[in-house]
């Protein structure tokens, strides 16, 4: 009983997110034939060359990929995709005729693409952040990784590229351009949901004047540095984004031959 109470919010959120994703597919993506990869994109391509509806094809894809997951993946991985493999095809089928009730204008295709990609990015981000695995076509990449040692990211890239190009073949090259915009915006927002917005930067510094640099940063910005001792000491500092440009200029002024590299920092634990 405690397990159900503990996981109920996560599965309620997963249910809601999949409902919104299904509505977005039937209301925004399908009417403009936006083939952007994944099971929904593949369903649009197959629907073009068969007499099956997209909702029927989504159900078939999810059944096939789920069976593959049961056969080739470990039980822990399969349990994580069972629920999504049921509810998403169900919601796609339930909302299949939504355009008969909700009338939209589809003349501004780019606006539709932006809205759909934002919804997709938020939905994917919430799903991954809450620890749920990919379902549908997304199951194939972990299988290839397990048995053929193909990186999951590379497998997904190849699969989605093939789907995208087939969409361009059947629906026109402009669909490929729209799909690329969709994928870029969706992935960007998904990463923002998972990682959050970076408010800080980590700077690794190498300099012959490293101790002068550390002293200066401490005096002017009250920034403490972590020294990694070696033959050529390296300092690591954490700074707020709004100070980065000022610090960058100061570092160059202190030592014209200074070397430093910068990366975003999304989480700080004290």
- Give the separation between CA 171 and CA 179, rounded to whole angstroms: 12
- Give the separation between CA 75 and CA 35, rounded to whole angstroms: 31
Could you tell me the residue ranges of all domains in the chain? 2-195, 200-265
Q: Please name the fold of domain 200-265.
A: Alpha-Beta Plaits (3.30.70)
In the chain, % helix, strand, coil (3-state, to 5) comes to 70, 10, 20
Would you call 150 helix, strand, or coil by DSSP?
coil
Query: Which is more confidently placed, 214 or 131?
Result: 214
| Start-to-end CA span in the chain (Å) | 34
Provide the 10 A C-beta neighbour count for residue 252: 12
Percent of the chain clearing pLDDT 70 (strictly above): 94
Residue-wise pLDDT tens digits, 35-45: 988 999 999 99
Residue-wise pLDDT tens digits, 92-118: 999 999 999 988 888 999 999 999 999
Kindly indicate the confidence band of residue 129, based on its pLDDT and cuts at 50, 70 and 90. Answer: confident
Q: What is the dihedral of CA 113, 119, 120, 124, to 10 degrees?
A: 160
Q: What integer pLDDT is reported at residue 230 of this predicted model? A: 66
Residue-wise pLDDT tens digits, 206-263: 988 888 888 888 888 888 888 887 667 888 888 888 888 888 888 888 888 889 888 8
Provide the 10 A C-beta neighbour count for residue 111: 12
Query: Which is more confidently placed, 7 or 146?
Result: 146
Query: Which is more confidently placed, 256 or 131?
Result: 256
């Amino acid at each position: 009983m405690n397990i159900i109470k503990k996981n109920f919010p996560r599965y309620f959120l997963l249910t809601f997110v999949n409902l919104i994703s299904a509505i977005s597919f039937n209301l925004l993506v399908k009417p403009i034939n936006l083939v952007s990869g994944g099971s929904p994109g593949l369903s649009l391509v197959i629907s073009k060359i068969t007499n099956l509806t997209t909702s029927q094809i989504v159900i078939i894809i999810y059944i096939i990929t789920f069976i593959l997951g049961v056969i080739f993946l470990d039980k822990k991985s399969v349990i994580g995709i069972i629920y999504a493999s049921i509810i998403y095809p169900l919601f796609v089928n339930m909302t299949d005729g939504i355009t008969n009730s909700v009338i939209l204008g589809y003349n501004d295709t780019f606006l539709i693409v932006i809205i759909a990609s934002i919804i997709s990015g938020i939905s994917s981000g919430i799903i991954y952040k809450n620890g749920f695995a990919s379902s549908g076509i997304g199951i194939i990449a972990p299988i290839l990784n397990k048995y053929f040692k193909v990186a999951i990211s590379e497998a997904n890239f190849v699969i989605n590229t093939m789907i995208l190009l087939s969409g361009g073949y059947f629906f026109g090259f402009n669909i490929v351009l729209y799909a690329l915009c969709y994928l870029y915006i969706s992935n960007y927002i998904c990463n923002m949901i998972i990682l959050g917005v970076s408010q800080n930067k980590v700077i690794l510094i190498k300099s012959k004047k490293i101790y002068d640099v550390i002293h200066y940063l401490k005096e002017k910005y009250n920034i403490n540095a972590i020294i990694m001792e070696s033959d050529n000491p390296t300092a690591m500092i954490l700074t707020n984004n709004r100070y980065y440009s000022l610090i960058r200029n100061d570092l160059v002024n202190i030592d014209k031959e200074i070397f430093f590299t910068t990366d975003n920092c999304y989480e700080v634990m004290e």
